[in-house]
């Protein structure tokens, strides 16, 4: 074969390889921001979606409160929040919302000799720890639930979120249901006035701080438990059972609520009455404008969500999240058609 022919084939192969790596000329760039709870799966979806379609989905893991603010300000194409907005607030800002994935908020500890799933908590005990009423790991209230564990006579180092957070919203919503004192003195919300503890930013920050500090306790989304290899606790659910965080126990919580009759999918799935449900289960919601601020990006955004709720289900399961069941996926798609311009 002539040298010129070889060079021509080599150049063609190189150009073909580059075309696979580079985004298509017509590629759209969809911008999102919000939940650190859902960051691992949104990042994974975005990576796979770009390989499939050439479209870019850029996502900033800044916390649910910041994500809500950015979509309200119209600087992103979607916000992601683990706290659903009430229908009247959505109406005020011209927004719609829909669930994209389920998971759970998990108490994590750094205690010498305590392995994942060995320590037990009730909601009332977690509330007392975060109130500062139970301040030592040797406290009788902890020993009563964990008589066979060797726990240190050491001060509990409490770690919480420093930023506005949907993870915090689900955590304190559960504590408020479990403890009348918590509900009266601290209350609920994406950010609260913590009675005790040290703040860290994002699920990443809390996971890192608990991993670093001996005798610490914190709360993070389950994927971070797996990624950072943290020791987690079992939590007693509404039915009185101590439940481990898992896809099955998150799914049991999610399926125990009536999504079809809830306007704008306003459902909070913690403290489920289902026997096998993990009690601090949570949902991440996508928030988008009914009339998109950047109309050219709207088709790409919905193409991304169709991929995420379809082929992307496998990726969600691999990371420890629970995909939406088929019946709920169809409800979401029907909602797109009714609610969003370009959502059909």
3-state secondary structure string, the chain?
CCHHHHHHHHHHHHHHHHHHHCCCCCCCEEEEEECCCCHHHHHHHHHHHHHHHCCEEEEEECCHHHHHHHHHCCCCCEEEECCCCCHHHHHHHCEEEEEEEEEEEEEEECCCCCCCCCEEECHHHHHHHHHCCCCECCCHHHHHHCCCCCCCCCECEEEEECCCCHHHHHHHHHHHHHCHHHHHHCCCCCCCCCCCCEEECHHHHHHHHHHHCCCEEEEEEHHHHHHHCCEEEEEECCCCCEECCCHHHHHHHHCCCCCCCCHHHCCCCCCCCCCCCCCCEEEEEEEEECCCCCHHHHHHHHHHHHHHCCCCHHHHHHCCCECCCHHHHHHHHHHHHHHCCCCC
With CA atoms as reference, report the closest residue to 283 among 10, 7, 41: 41
- In the predicted model, what is the mean pLDDT of residues 191-205? 96
Q: Is the pLDDT of residue 134 over 60?
A: yes
State residue 28's pLDDT score. Answer: 86
In the chain, the domains with their CATH numbers are 28-102+282-339 (3.40.190.10), 105-247 (3.40.190.10)
Q: If you average pLDDT over residues 238-252, what whole number do you get?
A: 97
Q: Are 159 and 216 in contact (CB under 8 A)?
A: yes
User: pTM for this structure?
Assistant: 0.88
**pLDDT at residue 24 is higher than 60:** no
Q: How far apart are CA 277 and CA 273, in angstroms?
A: 7
pLDDT at res. 294: 64
Q: Which of 122, 281, 131, 142 lies closest to 215 in space, CA to CA?
A: 142
Share of the chain above pLDDT 90, in %: 88
Q: Mean pLDDT over residues 236-257, rounded?
A: 96
Tens-digit pLDDT profile for residues 289-313: 998 876 666 789 999 999 999 999 9
| pLDDT for residue 41 is more than 80 | yes
pLDDT of residue 16: 34
Q: What is the mean pLDDT of residues 141-149?
A: 97
């Amino acid at each position: 074969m002539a040298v010129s022919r070889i060079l021509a084939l080599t150049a063609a192969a190189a150009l073909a390889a580059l075309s696979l790596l580079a985004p298509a000329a017509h590629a759209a760039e969809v911008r999102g921001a919000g939940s650190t709870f859902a960051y691992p799966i949104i990042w994974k979806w975005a990576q796979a979606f770009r390989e499939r379609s050439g479209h870019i989905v850029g996502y900033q893991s800044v916390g649910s409160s910041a994500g809500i603010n950015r979509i309200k300000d119209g600087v992103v194409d979607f916000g992601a929040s683990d706290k659903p907005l009430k229908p009247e607030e959505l109406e005020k800002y011209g927004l719609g919302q829909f669930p994209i994935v389920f998971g759970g908020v998990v108490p994590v500890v750094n205690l010498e000799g305590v392995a994942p799933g060995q320590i037990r908590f009730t909601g009332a005990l977690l509330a007392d720890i975060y109130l500062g009423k139970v301040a030592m790991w040797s406290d009788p209230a902890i020993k009563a639930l964990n008589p066979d564990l060797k726990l240190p006579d050491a001060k509990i180092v409490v770690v919480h979120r420093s930023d506005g957070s949907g993870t915090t919203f689900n955590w304190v919503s559960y504590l408020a249901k479990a403890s009348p004192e918590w509900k009266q003195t601290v209350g609920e919300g994406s950010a609260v006035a913590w009675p005790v503890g040290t703040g860290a930013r994002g699920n990443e920050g809390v996971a890192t701080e608990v991993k670093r500090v001996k005798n610490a306790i914190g709360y993070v989304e389950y994927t971070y438990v797996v990624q950072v290899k943290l020791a987690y606790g079992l939590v007693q659910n509404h039915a009185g059972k101590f439940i481990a965080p898992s896809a099955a126990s998150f799914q049991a919580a999610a399926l125990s609520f009536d999504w079809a009759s809830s306007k704008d999918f306003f459902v909070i799935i913690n403290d489920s009455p289902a026997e096998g449900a993990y009690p601090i289960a949570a949902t991440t919601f996508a928030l988008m404008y009914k009339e998109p601020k950047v109309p050219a990006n709207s088709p790409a955004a919905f193409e991304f969500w169709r991929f995420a709720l379809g082929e992307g289900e496998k990726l969600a399961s691999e990371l420890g999240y629970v995909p939406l069941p088929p019946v709920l996926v169809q409800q979401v798609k029907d909602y797109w058609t009714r609610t969003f311009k370009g959502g059909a």
